[in-house]
Amino acid sequence: MVKITKIRIKKITGKTNILNNEMNTAVIQFDVKKGEIQANLDTVFFYLKKLAANNVRLAVLPEMFSCSFDNDNLKEHAGQTDRIIKQLARFAAKNNMAIAGTLPEQKGEHIYNTMSFIDTDGKVKANYRKLHLFRLTGEHLYYTAGEKTKVIDTTLGRIGLMTCYDLRFPELARSLFLQGARIIVVSAQWPSPRKNHWKTLVRARAIENQLFMVCSNRTGVENGLSFPGVSVIVDPLGNIIADANEFEGTAFTNIKIEMVDEFRTLIPCMSDRREEIYG
């Protein structure tokens, strides 16, 4: 039995109506226990069940939500990833909810930090391997960097995928924008000392690419480093429309996808780009 502390299920507004391009969208944050897969899964499904009861259609989990950065045991943890994805896929199909988050993936001798996007029908629509490895914490010593961006057509619209440190590279978000993304989902373990960077970068990526950002970050302390939570959902104007603050729990809000088209029509950044000058 998992022990849940400081539970906060934070509803912002609205009900889901996908036919009208509206949907409840959520971020989940919790203290990801290093190497403790079952404890982490108990927490994940506790919150997913709460969100399903509130008709949420998209839920984003933190980076490495199954085992955190237990880098000395990655092969063992990666061996559990298929089982975890199957569990999440069954839940997604049963509850008509898309779920995204990153897990360790092994291919041959390589280990990747990979985001799986499971659609509302329970099908895995994409596996995105983190492109930018964070050298400050030695990620490059344990993981292999991905080689491809990912924008996918889902039952909820066209969605781009990013992971944590990727936020610091505007070229990546712009590539997803140019590929037609209307939402970007981000899984992260972003530490407290750079909390202000987190919110600034998320808002900047939303504003400059005129889309929704749905970004999950963890809470807790690991190896002496604290994590602030502050998982957020940001609209195309850069407004934070859902904020989980610093407590373990969730935040969700109703987003209107047509807002992307409306704002891109009002300020036509796509057509006003000067590709012949800066590429």
Residues tagged active-site: 63, 130, 164
DSSP letters spanning the chain: -----S-EEEE-S---BGGGTEEEEEEEE-BPPTT-HHHHHHHHHHHHHHHHHTTEEEEEPPTTTTT-S-GGGHHHHHTTHHHHHHHHHHHHHHHT-EEEEEEEEEETTEEEEEEEEE-TTS-EEEEEE-SS--GGGTGGGT-PPP----EEEETTEEEEEEEGGGGG-HHHHHHHHHTT-SEEEEEE---GGGHHHHHHHHHHHHHHHTSEEEEEE-EEEETTEEEE---EEE-TTS-EEEE-TTSSEEEEEEEETHHHHHHHHHS-HHHH--HHHH-
Rounded distance between C-alpha atoms, residue 208 and residue 7, angstroms: 34
Structure tokens at 263: 């704002």
From residue 80, give the alpha-carbon distance in Å to each of 145, 219, 222, 277: 21, 23, 22, 48
